[in-house]
Chains A and B, each alone.
Chain A
Amino acid sequence: MPILDRFDLTGRTAIVTGAGSNLGREFSLALAEAGANIVGVGRRPEPLAETGAMVEAKGRRYLARPTDVTSSAEVNAMVAEAIAAFGSIEILVNNAGGGGAGRGKTLPELTDEDWHEGIDTNLTSAFFCSRAIIDHFVERNYGRIINVTSGWGYRASRQRFMYPIAKAGVISLTKSLAMSYARDNIRSTCIAPGAFPHELTPELEQRAGMQPAGRFGRMQEIGPLAVFLASDAAEYMNGETVLIDGGAIAAGLTPAGLAPVFEGEPVLEEGARR
């Protein structure tokens, strides 16, 4: 089959967590553009509905399924409902996550709740969704799991614990899934986005000059990578994490590429102390 046809996702259905905004919306739209139907998962119904209208405008089917992905009961119910609605699911994009938990606190100040919130949101959610879908994938001898980590999954930062730790865990989860289910024709890969701001403030634009590429990622640049990894053109890729960060980690004095490559002073994470 000619290579461009091997990228095609027509007739497949993807569950995308965190589909209501930012990268999750971009993943949904790009997968839909390549032919896939989408199950949009997230906490808040309104943004999921907005993503849905955009997916449906591309002529694909869409199911909005508000879900707390840190609850295994809710995740199990969501996956069962998605399978029932579409007959089968071929692609799972574990995108949900966020860096808010415990922001600005030092280690002694972090509570048990902060720890669990950070780990659950960014790592446990991907574990729950993968566990919930895996029997379905095995039964059909086909599945694509795409996890989403971050440059923070590779490197550390002062007084920042849960997010980098959980994101490193996501890279590891990807390998464990790859090893465990390769024989069932299930492929697990991971996307590591650099800085993809959803809006460019003047302060951020100033920092863009400290990125190796001289700019941040543009929202529309993230989706095609998921299309490639979800497609049969990536059939022999498994367990692999792909950085899309304009060279930030390769240049890397910090994961977000905040270290100056050419000039200027390093910028610390907001709220970081010591």
Chain B
Amino acid sequence: MTFFDLGGKHALVTGATGPLQRALAVGLAEAGANVSLTTTHATQPEEVQANSILNECWSIGRTGEALTVDLMDEAALSAAVDQLEGSIAPIDILVNASHAAVIKPFLDMTADEVGATFNANLAVTMTACRVVGRRMIDRGHGRVVNLVSILYDRGVPNCAVYSATQGAVLGLTKALGIEWVRGGVTVNALGIGFYEDVPGPQQDPELRAPLERYIPVRRLGTGADLQGALVYLASEEAAFVDSELLVVDGAISAHG
């Protein structure tokens, strides 16, 4: 394929502990990129997961590292990225895939839970954008892709705070895209609908079947569905796509 080759690029995928993040990382690796990952906690399950994703990228012939770093700690992330860029290469592609869907009635959420939801979706994305984006701007080149749920635009019960964080990430995406595009850095978002392995009503066995009938494409999304859009946005070919959201949702947001 003449287009979309990411050979020689170095991508950093944050929050790389879930199946969606695995698909994003492996998609980039298949397209030629070296892929590094971040996880937050130095716990065995997270590190096993991250190393397993890293192994899959390595098995395709790529290199990369897994960092355990708290994305709320800008100084720590900055130090970790310095080390990573020294040992692998400068980061060309930042995928903010750290994502936490929180499903709970609005009135039942404590102030701490509200804060934690914003931190897990918005604050960590902003920190990564500040740390990695600064380096990209200095080098005059970069691609940032943020994961956003289409709940930024649609209301469903028990997702109010989560929806608000998604709107915030999309607003950040559009504004940063404009602020940075002349510096050679594009910022875009990948929009997800109802996906396998992501919390939501689709995980309820009773709701899953009617939901699948309701989605025009008649199935839930999987991580593999996001790979094409991510590789496109990360590629040189997408240099003029900026501040844009690519929704990959089987047309559910076209539904009347």
Contacts and interface: CB of A to CB of B under 8 A. Distances in A.
A194 B240 CA distance: 9
Interface string B238-255: 111111101111110111
Nearest to B226: A236
A225 B235 CA distance: 11
Contact of B216 (A6, A8, A182): A182
Nearest to B222: A236
Contact of B228 (A3, A178, A221): A3
A239 B216 contact: yes
Nearest to A178: B251
A212 B216 contact: no
B21 to A, nearest CB: 15
B246 A242 contact: yes
- Interface range for A: 35 or more
A250 B242 contact: yes
A153 interface: no
A238 B182 contact: no
Interface stretch (B1-9, B34-42, B90-98, B201-209): B1-9
B221 interface: yes
A200 interface: no
Given A2-B30, A3-B228, A4-B31, A243 B254 contact: no
A5 B217 CA distance: 22
Contacts of A175: 251, 254
Contacts of B253: 239-240
A212 B221 contact: no
Interface of A: 2-8, 30, 33-34, 175, 178-179, 182-183, 194, 212-214, 217-218, 221, 224-225, 227-228, 231-240, 242-247, 249-251, 261
26 contacts: A3-B30, A5-B1, A6-B228, A30-B3, A179-B251, A212-B178, A213-B181, A228-B228, A233-B227, A234-B248, A237-B246, A237-B248, A238-B250, A242-B244, A243-B241, A243-B244, A244-B241, A244-B244, A245-B242, A245-B244, A247-B174, A247-B177, A247-B181, A250-B178, A250-B242, A251-B243
The 7 closest A-B pairs by CB, nearest first: A233-B228, A239-B254, A250-B243, A236-B225, A182-B216, A238-B251, A224-B237
